[in-house]
Structure formats: structure tokens, C-alpha cells
Structure 1
Amino acid sequence: MLVGFKALSKHYGIELTQPLRVESSIGTVRSSHDSNDRVENKYPPSYRPNDDFSGHFEFGLKYEEIHLEFFARLFTATGPEPIEMWCRREPFGQYARRTGFLYEWLTGVTLNVPDVTNGGYVDAISPKKYLTRTAVKRAKRWRINDNLPGSAGFCPLVRRTPAVKTALSFDVTAALADLDNIFGADILMRTASWLTFKESRASFLIEKEADQADRIQRFAHVIAQYCGQIDNPLSDTSLHALQKGILGHDALGLGLRRSPVFVGQATMREDIVHYVAPQFEDVPEFMNGLKEFELATRGAEPLARAGVIAFGFVYIHPMRDGNGRIHRFLINDTLIRDRAVPDGVILPVSATITSSLNFRVGYDRTLEVFSKRLMRRYATSYRFGEIIHYEDGTPSNFYFTDYEDARFAWRYPDLTEHVLYTARVIEHTVRTEMADEARVLVIFQKAQERLKDVLEMPDQDANRIIRSLKENGWRLSGKLKKDYPQLEDITRAQRVVDAVRSAFEDDDI
């Protein structure tokens, strides 16, 4: 016998974008099987709930996972009657109260039941199992601690799975302090300056625009100027400034979009749609919900916040252009504002994403955790037709017919996998990318010093000679000899080569 949320889903014919992970049934003994993001739990007969709305919903709240998209769709299907009956029958029961609160919170409809007048306050969701707001709001009517991390307009959830707990245990502040102790503060800050440009270049590589030198420079400037320096990075004004800095003053359609948008790829015959973004009329409400998450979770784990804010932003896709770069900008911005990373230090997360096939494929797969399910659910809901010119200057022939139904999914994404990926990227960035860059800078600095012991020269000339020797397999090119006549002397030239090479081949670096 199927019980819990899946029983209700089947009974009411609820179709979900993000499937229920947990399936519960009554068997003979208790057992659990977890595989491929699906959990099958069996319970002995003593766990059998009443075969009605309240019985199955209470069972789900007790033993299964919070799923806001499912709750919102279910409450729309049931209407208020079964919840009102339950709340009148058990006015002080914690599960009836939680359900009543969730119904009103998700639907905006007030139930026709009296306020709860006594009893202890209970949490809306478990802070041990989910990322919750740090300062709870008390819902006096239900005597519920409202610890949901967003707003009814947009509330992402993160499950504290064992893998997530392990990933979030990485202390980025302590890891950076270790690098500081190994290489010194001066090296770390000089490394950060280079990594700002490296992050910009790698971010454009992700967007398949690696040859856009002027835009790379602009984005590097935006990172250096704005990361951690904006009080409200998700405000319309801040996003406009970021987008203008990235795309340039003359870019078309700056600011929140007023047109439909999809993410895909163009072919000679037609556009292939990988993801449809929310209706532009919903963007302000969704962005307000993301801002609410940012405010509500301050003081929580920085790595989790960075993942939710960045991926929540990219799924809302509020701008015509620049969403991907701002999405990755927000990771660094959040870490700096949360004081997990010092001012001026940029983690080259985009460089990590592009550093290996594993991370690159992982990035695409993480985005697809939500986008593929959305497109599978609405595969027949879009088409291309007559071109319409929208308010923001966008001409578009894209039509999507299920914005209202898909709104349930867009509002309540499960971003557990996104937080897990973000945390792993950040750990690899600090432990590997930054450590490697710092090591390279130490070597280069040592090569400069040893070269100048042989032949005094300005840094610019020393840098050119070092790079040339390294690229040419420790051989002096004819052009280098021509530009630096001192290297015509065979003995001096060999000393220069040996000095530079020794810095790169030292075992103690």
C-alpha cells in the first residue's frame, strides 16, 4: 500500500517538474533503499496512516521530505476544505498546524479556522534537515516558527544530505589562511590580482566567447570593482550597473528583461531549446524572493548561500544578456560579503569549472538537474511563430504556453545538488587552483631575482626573458639576442639560462 506524499500525488493526479524522491509503502518489515536520487522506504503495518488527506500528509511530514512545488500544486488541487477539517479536528496538533500554516503561506488564502491560542511553537521545517532562515519569524496564528528561507514568491530549498554536510564542512577562511602561512600575504594578494583576470577569461570561456578580449577586460574590472562592495547586489540598480560594466554602455536592453527568453543553441534549421526562463512579468517577484533568501539566511553557511544565490539567479534569468557571468560573479560576491574570503581576493571558480572535463560536465549536469526536468515536463509547450517586438527592444518569435503551470516549479526549486557542486568547486579552487597560482608566482619571483643577480634589468625586460626561455625549452631565441645584445656573450647567456631554469626546477617550491 502506497502511503504519504506519493499516495496523495497519485490520488489527486499531481504532475510534478521535480519528482518526489521518497516513495513510502506499507509492507511487513521496515527497510530503506536509496539509489539514483530515489528513496524507497517500507514500513511495518503499525505505521499505516488513515487513508485520507490528513493521514497521508501527516505521514509525509513525519517521515518524508519537504517538497514545496508538490505542496503548492496539491493545495491548489484540494482547496481549503480538507485542511480546514483537519485543523478543526486537531486544533493543537503540530502537523495540522504546520499544514495550515503551509497552506496559507503558499496560497495566500486564509483558512476558515480560528487562531491557535496555546501550545508551544514548532518549526515549519527542520533546521537539521534543511537550510533555514537564521532569524525565524513567529507566525502567531499557527504558533509556528516560520524558518522557510525565502518568500512564497520564490523559495529554494537545500536538503542537508550527508554529502552536503561534508561539502559544507570545508572552511574556506581557514584554507586561505593556510595559503597565507605557506606563501605569505604579499604573494596571496598578488595572486588574487592575476586571478581576477583569470576568472574573467574563464567565465567567457564557459560562455564560449573566449576571444572577446575587450569584454574580458571589462568583466575583470567589474569583478575587481564590485565584488563584495555592493550592499544589495540583487537590486535592480546593482544588476543594471553590473550588466552595464560587463556588456558596455552601448549594449541593448540593459536592466530587467521585458521579453521571453530561453537558453539553447542555434542550428541552420532551428533553435534548440535547453531551458525556458520564467515569464518576464514574474521576474520582479522571483527576484524579491531571492533577495528575501539572501537577507533571511545571513549568518548561515557561506558556501550554501553562494550556491543558492548564484544558481537561483541563473534560473530566474532576469536579464537579456550577462546572466551567466553575473551568476558566477555572485559566488565570489557572496563569499566576500559573508567574510569567508578577504576583500580583494577573487576565487577563480570559473577557472576551476573549465579546468577539467569532470568539473565542466559537472557544471552542465548541475544546471540540468532543474532545467532538464522542466523541459521534459513542458516539451510540447513552446513554439516559434510570428516575431513580436517587446518593451525592452527584443524582437522574439518564441512562445511558451504553460507559464502559469510552470510557475510552481520556478518558484520552489530544490537546489541541493547546486550547493553540493558549488562547495566542491570552491574547495578545489582554493586547495588546487589558488595554491598552484601562488606557487607559480613564487617561482616567477625567484626567477626574476636570480636573473637580476646575473644581469640587472627592469622587471618588464626580466619577465620577457623568463617567459621566452620557458616557452622555448630553455633556449635563447635569435630575437631575444637581437633585442638584448648582452646575451650575445655565450658565458653570460648560459648563466642567464641556468639562473632562470634553476628557479623552475627547485624541489623546495
Structure 2
Amino acid sequence: MKLGFTALVDRYGIALVQALRVESEIGKTRVSRESNGHTANKYPPSYQPTDDFAGHFEFGLKYEEIHIEFFARLFAATGPGPIEAWCREAPFGQYARRTGFLYEWLTGELLDVPDVSNGGYVDAISSQCYLTRTEFVRNRRWRINDNLPGTAAFCPLVRRTEIVQEALLFDLDAALGALHQAFGADILMRTASWLTFKESRASFLIEKEADKTDRVQRFAYVIAKHCGHIEDPLSSNSLHTLQAGILGHDAVGLGLRRSPVFVGQSTMREDIVHYVGPNFETLPQLLEGLSAFEAATRGAEPLARAAVIAFAFVYIHPMRDGNGRIHRFLVNDTLIRDRALPDGVILPVSATITSSVDFRVRYDRTLEAFSRPLMQRYAASYRFGDLVHYEDGTSSNLIFDDYKDALFAWRYPDLTEHVLYTAQVVAHTVRKEMADEAQVLVMFQRAQTQLKDVLEMPDQDANRVIRSLKENGWQVSGKLKKAYPQLDDSARAERVVEAVRSAFEG
């Protein structure tokens, strides 16, 4: 016999986008098995709850995982009746109080029960098991410490699994300090300038777009100017500024979209849909909810915050174009605001994502952790009809029939996998990408010095010579000799080559 939340899913016919990760039933002994992120628990008969809403929901709160999308759908299906009956029967019970609080918080509807008059305050969710707001808000009606990290408009869930907690232990400040000690402040700051450009260029690879120089430079400028400095980055005005900087001020349809959107690919015959974004009419409340999360969790783990803000943004998909680059901009922006990164230092997270097949595949899979089940749930809900012209200048023939139902998922995404991936990407970026770039810059500076010992020239010319030699396998090309006739002297040319080569290979 199924117990807890799974029993209520079956009883009320709840169709979830994000499946319950825990399933409980009665067996002979207590046994727990985990496979592919799903946990199957068996409990002895002594754990059998009463076979009603209160019994199964209390069991779920005690022994299973918080699942906000499920709670919202369940309360919409049950209405207030079962919760009111439970709260009258057990007015001081912590599980009845938590359920009453959650119902009112999620639905905005007041239950027909009196305020709880006494009893100790209890947390809405466990701060040991989930990412919560840094300062709880006391709800006197239910005597609940409201520590939920968002609002009813948007509240992501991050489970503090063992592997997530281990990843969040990465000490970004200490890792940057180690680079500072190894290479010095001057090298790191000079490296930071190059990494800003590298981050911009790699971002275009992720978007599968041509990295035209002007577009790369625009995004690099946006990163350098606005990361950690733009006021309220999730506001409409700031998003417009970022988008205009990325796409150009003359781009069509700047600002929050006023049209349907999907992410996919086009073929000669049809459009293949990988993800449908929320209805444009709900964008303001979703962004306000994400901003509320940002404010409520300040002081919490920067890596977790950066992941939630960035990935939630790309799922909300509020702009016609530029969402992906703003998504990755927000990672650095959050880390700088949280003072986990020094101002002016940019982590080339996009470069890490594109650095290996594994990181790229995991990036796509991380995005699919939410998008794939969403599209599986609503596979029959979208189609292409007549072309409609929308007020933001978009012409679209996408029709999606279940915006209202899908809003339960868009509002309450589980972003645990996204936090894990982001933390691991940041750790690799500092330990590998930044360290490698700093080492290359050290060698390049050494090559400049050694080259000038043989043949004095301005830095710009020295850089040209070094790049040419390195690209041509330590051979002096005819083009280089034409530009620098001094290299026609074979003995001098040989000394120049050895000076540069030894800097990189010594």
C-alpha cells in the first residue's frame, strides 16, 4: 500500500511535471533503496498512517521530501476542506499548522479556522535539508517561522543533498587567494581582462552562434561594465539595458517579450520544440518572485544563489533574445554582489562549459532537468497555427494550451541539479581555466622580456612576433621577415626563436 505524498497523488489524480523523488509503502521491515535519483522506502506496519488526507500528508512531511509544485497542485485539487478539518482536529499540532500555513501561503486564501493561540514556533521547512531564507519571518497566525526562500509567485527548491553540500564547500575566496599567492595581483588583474573577452567569446559557442567580433566585444563590454554594478539586475529597466548592450541599441523588440517563445531548432520541414517559456503576461510576477528570492537569501551560499538566479532566469525566458548570455552574466554578477569575487574579476564559466564534451553535455542535461519533464508533461499541449503579429514585433504561430496548468511548475522549480553543476563549474574554472590563463600570461611576459634582450622593440611588435612564432611551430615566416627585416639575419633570428621558445617550453 502506498503511503504519504504518493498516495495523495493517486487519490487526487495529480499530474506533476517534476516527479516525486520519494515513494513510500508498508513492508515487513524498514528498507530504503535509491536508484537514478529516486528513493523507494518501505516501512514496518507500525508506521501505517490513517488513510485520509491528514494521515498521508503528515507522513509525507515527516519522512519524505518537500515538493512545492506538488503542494500547490494538491491544494488546488482538494480545496480548503481537508486542511480545515485537520486544523480543527489538531489545532496545536505542528504538522497541521505547517499544512495550514502552506495552504494559505500558496493559494492566498484564508482558511476558516481560528489563529493558533499558543505553542512554540516551528520552521516551515528544514534549513538543514533545504536552502532557506537567511532571516525567517514569523507568522503569528500559525506560529510558523516562514523560512521559505521565495514567494508564492516564485519559489525555487534546492535540496541540500550530500553531494550538493560537498560542492558548496568549495572555498572560492581561498582558491583565488592561492592564485594570488602563486602569480601575484598584477598577473591576476591582467588575466581578468582577457578572461572577460574569453567569457564573451565562449558564450557564443554555447548559443551556437557565430562569434562575430563586434558582438563578442559588445558582450565583453557589458560584462566588464555591469557585473556587480547594475542596479537591480532583474528589473525591467536593467534587463533592457543589458539586452541593448548585448544585442545593440537598434535591435528589434528590446525589453520584456510580449509574445510566446520556445527554444528549439528548425529543420527544412518543421520546428522542433525543446522548451516552451511561460506566458508573457506572467513575466512581471515571475521576475518579481525571483527578485524576492535574491533579497531573501542574501548572506546564504553565493554559489547556490548564483545558480538559482541564473537558471531560473533562463527558464522564465523573459526576453525575445539574449536570455542565454544574460543567464551566464548573472552568475558572475551574483558572485560579485555577494563579494565572493573581487570587483573586476570575471570567471569564464562559459569557457569551462565549452572546454570539454563532458561539461557541455552536463550543461545541456542540467537545463533538461526541468525542461525535459515539462515538455513530456505537455507534449500534446503545443502546436503551430496561423501566424500572429504581437506588439513586441514578433510574428509567431506557436499555440500553447496549458499556460495556467504549467505555471505550477514554472513557479516552483527544483534547481538542486543546477546548484551542483554551477558549483562544480566554478571550482573547475578557478582551479583550471584561471590558473592556466595566468600561467600563459606569465610565460608570455617572460617571452617579451627575453625577446627584447635579443631584439629591442615596442610591446605591440613583440607580441606580434611571439604569436607568429608560436603559431608557425617556432619558424620565422616570410611574412614576419618582411615585417621585421632584422630577422633576415639567420643568427639573430635563431636567437629570437630560442628566446621566445624557451619562455614557453623551459
TM bucket, shorter chain: over 0.9
1:171 aligns with 2:193: no
- Residue 102 of structure 2 aligns with which residue? 102
CA distance in 2, matches of 1:204, 1:490: 43
Aligned to 1:224: 224
Structure 2 residue 343 is matched with structure 1 residue 343: yes
Q: Count how many residue pairs are aligned between Structure 1 and Structure 2.
A: 506
In structure 1, how many angstroms separate the alpha carbons of the residues matched to 2:8 and 2:479? Answer: 77
Alpha-carbon offset, residue 490 of structure 1: 1.7
Q: Which deviations, in whole Å up to 9, do the C-alpha atoms of 1:396-453 show, x marking residues without a partner?
A: 1110000011111111000000000010110000000000000000000000000011
1:273 aligned residue: 273
Q: 1:206: which partner in 2?
A: 206
For the 8 Å contact 1:451–1:499, the answer to whether it is kept is yes
In 2, distance between residues paired with 1:276 and 1:192? 36
RMSD: 0.6
**Letter matched to residue 12 of structure 1:** Y
Whether the 8 Å contact between 1:202 and 1:210 is mirrored in structure 2 is no
Residue 145 of structure 1: SS of its match in structure 2?
strand
Deviations 1:150-170 (A, max 9, x none): 110110000000010011000
What is the match of residue 183 of structure 1? 183
Listed as ranges, the matches of 1:359-508 within 5 Å are: 359-506=359-506
Given the two structures, how large is their TM-score scaled by the length of structure 1?
0.99
Q: What is the deviation of 1:117?
A: 1.1
Matched, 1:296 2:296: yes
Does residue 308 in structure 1 map to residue 308 in structure 2?
yes
What is the SS of the residue equivalent to 2:383? strand
Write out per-residue CA displacement over residues 335-392 of structure 1, whole angstroms, 9 at most, x where no aligned residue: 0000000000000000000000000000000000100000000001011111111111
Does the CA-based 8 Å contact 1:201-1:210 persist in structure 2?
no
Give how far 1:226 is off: 0.1
Segments of 5+ residues of structure 2 without an aligned counterpart are none
- The residue aligned with 2:63 is 63
Structure 1 position 35 matched with structure 2 position 39: no
Deviations 1:219-259 (CA, angstroms, capped at 9, x unpaired) = 00000000001231111111000000000011111111111
Q: Show the counterpart of 1:139.
A: 139
3-state SS of 1:255 partner = coil
Q: Residues 135 and 147 of structure 1 are in contact (CA less than 8 Å); yes or no, is this contact kept in structure 2?
A: yes
Alignment TM-score, normalising by the size of structure 2: 0.99
- CA 1:231–1:211: 2 relative to 1, 3 Å: closer
TM superposition shift of 1:496:
0.6
Aligned to 2:6: 6
Could you tell me how far apart the structure 1 residues matched to 2:283 and 2:323 are? 13
Which residue identity does 1:375 align to in structure 2? M
Q: Aligned residue for 2:234?
A: 234
State how 1:320-331 maps to structure 2 within 5 Å: 320-331=320-331
Could you report, residue by residue, the CA deviation over 1:133-166 in whole angstroms, capped at 9, with x for unpaired residues? 0011111100001110011011000000001001
Matches of 1:142 and 1:152, distance apart in 2:
17
Write the letter of the residue equivalent to 2:129. K
What is the rounded CA distance, in whole Å, between the counterparts of 2:110 and 2:213 in structure 1?
Answer: 56
Q: What is the aligned partner in structure 1 of residue 85 from structure 2?
A: 85
| Distance in 2 of aligned mates of 1:394 and 1:477 | 51
Task: Tell me the equivalent position of 1:130.
Answer: 130
Comparing 492-501 and 304-313, the one that deviates more: 492-501
Residue 23 of structure 1 and its aligned partner are, at CA, apart by: 0.2
Q: Quick one: distance in 1 between partners of 2:46 and 2:182?
A: 59
1:50 counterpart residue number: 50
> Residue 254 of structure 1 aligns to a residue in which SS?
coil
> In structure 1, what is the Cα distance between the partners aligned to 2:479 and 2:383?
59
Structure 1 spans left out of the alignment, 5+ residues: none
What's the CA shift for 1:210? 3.0
TM-aligned CA deviation for residue 113 of structure 1: 0.2
The residue aligned with 1:74 is: 74
3-state DSSP of counterpart to 2:24: strand
Query: 2:24 matched to which residue of 1?
Result: 24
Distance in 2 separating the partners of 1:488 and 1:407: 71
Q: One-letter code of the match for 2:72?
A: A
